[in-house]
Amino acid sequence: MSRKQFILPVSLIAVFSVIIAFLFPVIGPRFIMPLMMGNNPAPTDLNTMTNRLTDNSLYRVSFITIPNPIAINDMHSWILNLQTADGQAVDDAEIGVDGGMPQHGHGLPTRPQVTENLGNGDYLVEGLRFQMPGWWEVKFEITAAGQSDNITFNVVLP
Ligand SMILES: [Cu+2]
């Protein structure tokens, strides 16, 4: 093989590698990851209500997203409203946030946190980001007056 015959394919590979390296963060989340992880449609019987009772019915939790609707890859916030099961605002709660994509076996790409207690049972949750379409679970562990309960919201991003 001559020097010329060797250099051409090597430079082509280099150029393509650079192009792919630049494109990957753009096309990766939307197309490559779902392909790798299995592009399962979300279950049709998912409860996607945004106002629900916690697992043991201790609290009623609802949320709005800012902005609404949310877009893939956008860092965004939720306002979570927390009430007792009989409708009293809960203002002194400790709230943990977790979640992920059950069909892909991965967690959240960020570490969202409650950053502000807004009063009247409202809490600001900052730092949420969903980097691919599909079924996401967002879980809150709520502790108030020594009583903990959990809730899992289902979010399906088109
Ligand atoms: Cu995923």
Residues 6+ apart with CB under 8 A from 153: 48, 50, 52, 63, 137, 138, 139, 140
Ligand 1 geometric centre to CA of 94 (Å): 28
How far, CA to CA in Å, does 69 sit from each of 97, 99, 122, 127, 140? Answer: 20, 19, 19, 16, 20
Ligand 1 geometric centre to CA of 136 (Å): 8
Matching residue, tokens 């449609």: 41
| Domain at 51-157, CATH class | mainly beta
Ligand 1 geometric centre to CA of 49 (Å): 21
Note the pLDDT of residue 7.
80
Quote the tokens at residue 118: 């807004």
Instruction: Choose the weakest-confidence range: 13-22, 135-144, 148-157.
Output: 13-22
How does residue 115 score in pLDDT terms, banded at 50, 70 and 90?
A: very high
DSSP single-letter state for residue 89:
B
Q: In what order do the strands lie in the sheet with 113-119?
A: 51-53, 59-66, 76-84, 122-128, 113-119
Ligand 1 geometric centre to CA of 104 (Å): 5
Per-residue pLDDT of 18-43, as tens digits, reads 777 777 666 666 666 666 666 678 89
